[in-house]
Amino acid sequence: MEIERKFKVLELPKDLESYEKEEIEQGYLCIKPTVRIRKSNDNYFLNYKWKNKNVKENKAIQNIEHEMPLTKENYEHLLSKIDNNLIKKTRYKIPIDNNLTVELDVFHNCLEGLSFAEVEFPDVEISENFNKPAWLGDDISFDSRYDNTLLSKISKYQPKDFEN
């Protein structure tokens, strides 16, 4: 079970390059349920995820998720079958209080200029009591404009489309 919240980024943290990072490519073979391929540095994965419908409404996104490794050859074969655009981003892993990590995604190519952050939680209670760092802005967990499956359909990022 994945329990996460997404946030706008008010400002990028200083010394961003000092944090662990991944160079990510991801494409979608299917949106509902989500079937995604991902290259993370030199590792390759197939991910299958769907919304957990057996939960009460709360502040966190809750998905049931399965991830399986792929070979480079499998990834490259499936890459030709993705719908829409391949998403490219740098994900910075920034440790914060309570053994939590902010995953800051800075997008590239057609999404250049977009960034937002996700925090995964061990349980719903911790997600509901989360005190975000000052550099994180509004909670956008349920704002569909920030859904990666929908972002893959954008041919050019327009900041005005993401203003409230």
Q: What is the pLDDT of residues 25-76, one digit of tens each?
A: 999 999 989 999 999 999 999 999 987 665 555 677 888 899 999 999 999 9
Does residue 126 surpass a pLDDT of 90? Answer: yes
Does residue 105 surpass a pLDDT of 60? Answer: yes
Does residue 106 surpass a pLDDT of 90? Answer: yes
Does residue 93 surpass a pLDDT of 60? Answer: yes
Q: Which CATH class is domain 2-162?
A: mainly beta
Radius of gyration for the alpha carbons in the chain, expressed in angstroms and rounded: 16
Averaged pLDDT score across all residues of the chain: 93
Tell me the CA distances in angstroms from 17 to 46, 50, 132, one per residue in order: 28, 33, 21
- Position 51 scores a pLDDT of 75
Single out the residue of 85, 81, 84, 151 nearest to residue 116, CA to CA: 151
**What residue ranges do the domains of the chain occupy?**
2-162
Side-chain half-sphere CA neighbours of 30 within 13 A: 9
- Position 90 scores a pLDDT of 98
- Position 46 scores a pLDDT of 98
**Lowest-confidence pick of 11-25, 58-72, 86-100, 103-117:** 58-72
